[in-house]
């Protein structure tokens, strides 16, 4: 899998946290990855997910979920007029993912923002890409 595909899988796994208890997240991610492995899809066959990819997805998703309070504190301090409790869950998950990559993994700011905006175009509403871009621009000032 390329980095974009891996990031997309991390996003999906972290997004699932919005619908499950954080304490259950390890089992949720395991079930998600197992379901992805069992899916009979041409896209998944083309992705060639390796055990290393799966381990990276799992570890990164669990680490992001563990850092949600810290990430949300940064978001709430920086994004005027928008608290995390009011944000669309897709947008919030993408902002958390990009912020994690920038602050924890030291991914270049432009790369993290571009990837988040790309995923917002794919998974979010019509206004998601611009919202995610603007929120991340304020966060990295």
What is the pTM assigned to this prediction?
Answer: 0.85
Please enumerate in sequence order all residues whose Cβ is within 8 A of that of 119, keeping only pairs 6 or more positions apart, or say none.
7, 8, 11, 94, 97
Please enumerate in sequence order all residues whose Cβ is within 8 A of that of 65, keeping only pairs 6 or more positions apart, or say none.
14, 17, 22, 25
Q: Structural domains in the chain?
A: 1-66 (no CATH), 67-141 (1.10.940.10)
pLDDT at 43: 52
Quote the CA–CA distance of 116 and 121 in Å, as a whole number: 9
Quote the CA–CA distance of 99 and 107 in Å, as a whole number: 9
pLDDT at 46: 47
pLDDT at 51: 85
pLDDT at 1: 86
First vs last C-alpha separation in the chain: 32
Which residue is listed with tokens 């949720």?
A: 28
As averages over each run of 10 residues, the pLDDT of the chain (141 residues) reads 92 85 65 59 58 90 93 91 91 97 96 97 96 93 80
pLDDT at 42: 46
Name the DSSP letter for residue 79: S
pLDDT at 36: 58
């Amino acid at each position: 899998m390329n980095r974009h595909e891996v990031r997309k899988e991390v996003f999906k796994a972290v997004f699932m946290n919005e619908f499950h208890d954080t304490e259950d997240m390890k089992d949720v991610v395991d079930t998600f990855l197992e379901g992805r492995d069992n899916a009979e899809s041409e896209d998944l066959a083309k992705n060639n997910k390796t055990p290393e990819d799966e381990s990276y997805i799992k570890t990164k998703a669990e680490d992001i979920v563990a850092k949600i309070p810290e990430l949300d504190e940064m978001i709430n301090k920086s994004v005027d007029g928008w608290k995390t409790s009011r944000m669309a869950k897709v947008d919030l998950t993408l902002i958390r993912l990009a912020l994690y990559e920038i602050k924890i993994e030291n991914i270049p700011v432009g790369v993290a923002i571009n990837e988040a905006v790309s995923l917002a175009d794919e998974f979010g509403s019509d206004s998601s890409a611009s919202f995610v871009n603007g929120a991340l621009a304020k966060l990295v000032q």
